[in-house]
Amino acid sequence: MNEASQERPSRPLLLFGGTGQVGRQLLRALAPLGAVVAPSRADADLTKPDTLRAVIHRVRPAAVVNAAALTNVDRAEREPDLARAVNDVAPTVMAEASRDVGALIVHYSTDYVFDGAASTPYDEHAEPNPINVYGATKLAGERGVAASDAPHFIIRTSWVYSAEGNGFVATLLRQLNESRPVRVVTDQVGSPTWSQSLADSTAGILRTVATPTDFRVPRDDWGVYHLGGSGEASRFEIAQEVISARAISASAPVVIPTSAAEFNAVAPRPAYSALFNRRAAERFGIRLDNWRVELRRMLASQPT
CB-CB contact of 111 with 157 (8 Å): yes
**122 part of the active site:** no
- Using CA atoms, how far residue 17 sits from 13, 22, 260, in Å, is 13, 8, 29
Domain positions in the chain: 13-160+195-229+274-288
Calculate Rg over the CA atoms of the chain.
19
The answer to whether residue 248 scores a pLDDT higher than 70 is: no
- State residue 77's pLDDT score: 98
| pTM reported for the whole predicted model | 0.94
Q: SS3 string of 84-137?
A: HHHHHHHHHHHHHHHHHHCCEEEEEEEHHHCCCCCCCCECCCCCCCCCCHHHHH
Q: Which of 108, 112, 122, 134 is catalytic?
A: 134
CA 104, chain centre distance (Å): 18
- What's the pLDDT tens digit per position in 127-139? 999 999 999 999 9
| Amino acid 5: pLDDT | 47
Residue 299 φ/ψ region, left for φ over 0, alpha for ψ in the -120 to 50 degree band, beta for the rest: alpha
CB atoms < 10 A from the CB of 19, how many? 13
pLDDT at 6 over 70: no
What are the tens digits of pLDDT across the range 194-231? 999 999 999 999 999 999 989 999 999 999 999 999 99
Residue 270 one-letter amino acid? P
Query: How many C-beta atoms surround the C-beta of residue 252 within 10 A?
Result: 8
Helix H segments across 213-274? 235-246
Residue 2 pLDDT:
42
Fold entry, domain 13-160+195-229+274-288: Rossmann fold (3.40.50)
Computed from CA positions of residues 82, 268, 258, 170, in that sequence, does the dihedral angle turn out positive or negative? negative
Q: What is the pLDDT of residues 17-69, one digit of tens each?
A: 999 999 999 999 999 999 999 999 999 999 999 999 999 999 999 999 999 99
In tens, the pLDDT along 86-109 reads: 999 999 999 999 999 999 999 999
- In percent, the amount of the chain with pLDDT more than 70 equals 95
pLDDT digit string (tens) for 153-201?
A: 999 999 999 998 888 999 988 888 776 788 999 999 999 999 999 999 9
Q: With cut-offs at 50, 70 and 90, classify the pLDDT of residue 7.
A: low
